[in-house]
Chain A
Amino acid sequence: KQEVTQIPAALSVPEGENLVLNCSFTDSAIYNLQWFRQDPGKGLTSLLLIQSSQREQTSGRLNASLDKSSGRSTLYIAASQPGDSATYLCAVVDSGTYKYIFGTGTRLKVLA
């Protein structure tokens, strides 16, 4: 059964710092992996989608990498800003069930 874990559960950093969020999954048989951010009480905003054949995707200050064989993905945020404060979720599409399986999230706070 596919399980997705995100470490750390919470993170507080000063503004301007570069940071890495981690996502690990137990079964490497996935179709893709997607990173989202969620602001309190709101829906999810898609950040990056990495297909299983890709190793990384970049959008602005965000870079996500995927290592299927080790069951890991990282989201790198450069020069963090207070506006980056949110919960970050990763999700994989499990190739056995075709379902999105979400991680538990990392709650990020960037201090001004």
Chain B
Amino acid sequence: KAGVTQTPRYLIKTRGQQVTLSCSPISGHRSVSWYQQTPGQGLQFLFEYFSETQRNKGNFPGRFSGRQFSNSRSEMNVSTLELGDSALYLCASSLSAGSSYEQYFGPGTRLTVT
């Protein structure tokens, strides 16, 4: 069974631009979560989607948004990029929403903002 895939793997953008990252969950998984990982803040939860609905949201500004499609694939968008948005963005999928389901992570998208 294929794992979680994320595209692109690496991205370089300029301050002020916007970016869209994509995540394809494991086949059959319906929940997708997004995380930001930086050396200073560690891994921080961005949001979780299940059945095309945002179920949970972390403490990030409105410039960070996401969506989920009917095939469970998810995208996250960051508008008006800032230097501090440079990070590894990780996506995780699980069978369903809820606390008892194990999360499986993708390889991440490394975003560099210059």
Provide the bound-state CA to CA distance between A41 and B106, in Å: 12
Chain A window 95-107, contacts with chain B (Cβ cutoff 8 Å), 1 for yes, 0 for no: 1011111111100
Taken residue by residue from 3 to 37, chain A's Cβ proximity to chain B (1 for < 8 Å, 0 otherwise) reads as: 00000000000000000000000000001101010
B57's closest neighbor in chain A, by CB?
Answer: A99
- Residues of chain B within 8 A (CB-CB) of A100 are 33, 35, 45, 103
Given A89-B43, A99-B45, A99-B56: A44 touches B105 (CB 8 Å cut-off): yes
B22 CB to closest chain A CB, in angstroms?
15
Distance in Å: Cβ of B19 to nearest Cβ of chain A: 19
Bound complex: CA A42 to CA B4 (Å): 12
Asked if A58 is at the interface of the complex by the 8 Å CB criterion, the answer is: no
Q: How many residues of A contact B (CB 8 A)?
A: 25
User: Contact string, B90-108, partner A, CB cutoff 8 A, digits 1/0?
Assistant: 1010000001101111111
Report A49 CB to chain B, min CB distance, Å: 5
Residues of chain A having any CB pair with chain B under 8 Å = 31-32, 34, 36, 41-46, 49, 51, 89, 91, 93, 95, 97-105
Closest 4 CB pairs of A and B: A31-B99, A102-B43, A44-B105, A43-B105
Name B residues whose Cβ lies closer than 8 Å to a Cβ of A.
Answer: 4, 6, 33, 35, 42-45, 48, 55-56, 58, 88, 90, 92, 99-100, 102-108, 110
